[in-house]
Structure 1
């Protein structure tokens, strides 16, 4: 009978160990948690808007409009989105060689804006294209002699 008791004790010990090990393997505590983290973004450098092609020349009162077009210098590592290039006579631009006549100003010219670029511009120099915009000299009912032989400063911007 001692042998059977030892055998029963061994079986009981094995069963208890199996229960304990099984309980450890499948037991867990449930909980919830929170945390924080962060990410940073880079910066973007402005693109340079260039005029390309032949310089605009031959403007005179009532002459046909001349095209102005160009490309971009994008110094960024990746693409940038350019929606619209805008062309304008430089703010405050004025020429008045003869003080007895009206100054030549932005009002002497009409600029038609180019169609929207509306896409991403690749990184690099002289990339992509915009335009054409047009510039024409208005035929005004006033003396426009101060517009003879002048260089009209144009500025380009984008959004």
Structure 2
């Protein structure tokens, strides 16, 4: 048997490495495919209902007006936004002290009400008592209530 020279051994080793590399590359196979999918989870039921309040000064008389402050309390742990406000007036004596003698406005601020907060300002307005030619004495001891809702 013939012995390889040092140079021959190097060529033989290089050829062996090349064959192994080429052979392992040829043995590698794979599949290709496409796919679709989805995932989902229910959101929390948070962001519950806020409680709205209207406050204004006492002592309103015919021909006068007073500022109204609208605030909100949020007992849930989720922030929410109070949108358009709508206000109405009622009286404790609707037969003699007519609600139609009063007008109220509600300027909306689209305010964020943080979770677990109270007294957050959400708007303002004006409550006015019309000065009618009719006798309005029945409103002297009546309680005026401003109710506010949000959409």
Name the TM tier (shorter chain).
0.7 to 0.9
Rounded to whole Å, the distance in 2 between the matches of 1:130 and 1:119 is 5
Superposition RMSD on alpha carbons, in Å?
3.0
Match of 2:117, SS? strand
Moved over 3 A (4+): 1-4, 11-20
- Whole-angstrom distance in 2 between the partners of 1:153 and 1:72: 17
Matched, 1:123 2:115: yes
- In the TM superposition, what are the counterparts of 1:118-157 in structure 2 within 5 Å? 118-157=110-149
Q: In structure 2, what is the Cα distance between the partners aligned to 1:35 and 1:125? A: 40
> In 1, Cα distance between the equivalents of 2:17 and 2:114?
72
Aligned to 1:7: none
1:13 positional shift: 8.2
Where does the alignment leave 5 or more consecutive residues of structure 2 unmatched?
A: 5-13
1:21 aligns with 2:24: yes
Q: 1:33 aligns with which of 35, 45, 52?
A: 35
User: For 2:26 and 2:136, how far apart are their aligned partners in 1?
Assistant: 99
Which ranges in structure 1 are unaligned for 5 or more consecutive residues? 5-10, 97-101
- Separation (CA, whole Å) in 2 of partners of 1:37 and 1:120: 30
Q: Deviations over 1:50-90 (max 9, x none)?
A: 245xx52112221x201111422112323211223332114
So what's the TM-score if we normalise by structure 2?
0.73
Per the alignment, residue 60 of structure 1 pairs with 61
Q: Given that residues 87 and 133 in structure 1 are in contact (C-alpha distance below 8 angstroms), is that contact kept between their aligned partners in structure 2?
A: no
